[in-house]
Amino acid sequence: MQSIHKSLAKITAVASAVPADVMTNFDLEKIIDTNDKWIVERTGIHQRHIAKQGETTSTIVAAACKEILASTNTNPLDIDLIIVATITPDMMLPATACLVQDLIGAKNAWGFDLSIACSGFLYALQVAAQFVHNGTHKNVLVAGCDVMSSIIDYTDRQTCIIFGDGGGAALIQPSVLENDGVFLDFVHEIDGSGGKYLCIPAGGSLRPTTNETLANRMHYVHQDGATVFKFATRKMTEVCNKILERNNLTANDIDVFIPHQANKRIIDYVTDKMNFNPDKVIVNIGEYGNTTAGTLPLALKTAIDTNRLARGDLLLLATMGAGFTAGACLIKW
């Protein structure tokens, strides 16, 4: 039996992809009782990208993955594993990872989907890191992407103003050196008692599709905004504090903070509560809205493209979402 050489894991490349079509707040004013000023004040969102017919989670993810393969000169046949974090698969069966594998020509890879909504990309990163840590995989593609317009009720102004489509991907590989951009620590939590406050009530085994569920619009995202806001502000602060404390760090030690882009008010609350320098916080919700599993890779790419993330920086990622879920990850970039 071949021996397994354990190694540290690192993110070696990041790419993002979004549909070309944009829906602004002014576009929303034409279809629902809302206005740009109200949306910006409540969420910080000015626009969101919306997929057109034929654009799906698999095609968006494949675009990001192809960019990574090209930029790193990686042969798709060398990819070992593909993990797609999404709650909007192209279809319930097969897994979106299977479709992505075929689209990018990664014939030797296995893969699967990870369905945990907004925390999906962060959780998938840790799954990928474990396969690299234990020495069984050298090239893992992790994607976070959602086409939220496919599950949003555009007659419900509580949800339709928030969400957009898009996401990105990252390549996880062994780290050559101990201090060469490695995963340092993570904290993940779930609280299933909060599941009812942010969910799609029908379409699963509890409430299969019927004329009644369709008539009652139960196949769209339903959200208790006040409860979700309270959980998000409390839990994102808690997981950030927990990971800093157990690594003997303070907010001043963090060079870049990338929070889940759920709502600008949530981001501002956590930034203030944690005493993070606002200049170190990556915020792009105004351009993309909440893309659920796609927000962290999109924000990570924004940090790279704007030269706000440099080699050796201490990076903190944090998230919360339906489930309820929460998590934080500490990375030496």
Q: What is the pLDDT along the chain (333 residues), one digit of tens a residue?
A: 344 556 789 999 999 999 999 999 999 999 999 999 999 999 999 999 999 999 999 999 999 999 999 999 999 999 999 999 999 999 999 999 999 999 999 999 999 999 999 999 999 999 999 999 999 999 999 999 999 999 999 999 889 999 999 999 999 999 876 666 789 999 999 999 999 999 999 999 999 999 999 999 999 999 999 999 999 999 999 999 999 999 999 999 999 999 999 999 999 999 999 999 999 999 999 999 999 999 999 999 999 999 999 999 999 999 999 999 999 999 999
What secondary structure letter does DSSP report for 254? -
Tell me what pLDDT residue 181 has.
75
Residues designated as active site: 118, 260, 290
Query: What is the C-alpha to C-alpha distance for residues 36 and 136, in angstroms, rounded to an integer?
Result: 50
244 CB contacts (<8 Å, ≥6 apart)?
A: 250, 251, 253, 254, 316
Token pair belonging to 243: 């990971």
pLDDT at 2: 44
User: How many Cβ atoms sit within 10 Å of the Cβ of residue 75?
Assistant: 12
What is the pLDDT, as a whole number, of residue 179? 62
Judge contact between 331 and 317, C-beta under 8 A: yes
DSSP 146-208: EEGGGS--TT-HHHHTTB-EEEEEEEEEE-SSTTSS-EEEEEEEE-GGGGGGEE--SSSSSS-
Do 100 and 304 meet the contact criterion of CB atoms below 8 Å apart?
Answer: no
Cα-Cα-Cα-Cα dihedral sign, residues 234, 299, 242, 143: positive
What pLDDT is recorded for position 30? 96
Q: Quick check: pTM over 0.85? A: yes
Residue 68 CB contacts under 8 Å (≥ 6 apart), including other chains: 13, 14, 15, 74, 141, 169, 170, 171
* pLDDT in the model for residue 1: 35
3-state helix, strand, coil in the chain (%, to 5): 40, 25, 35
Residue 9 has what pLDDT?
A: 92
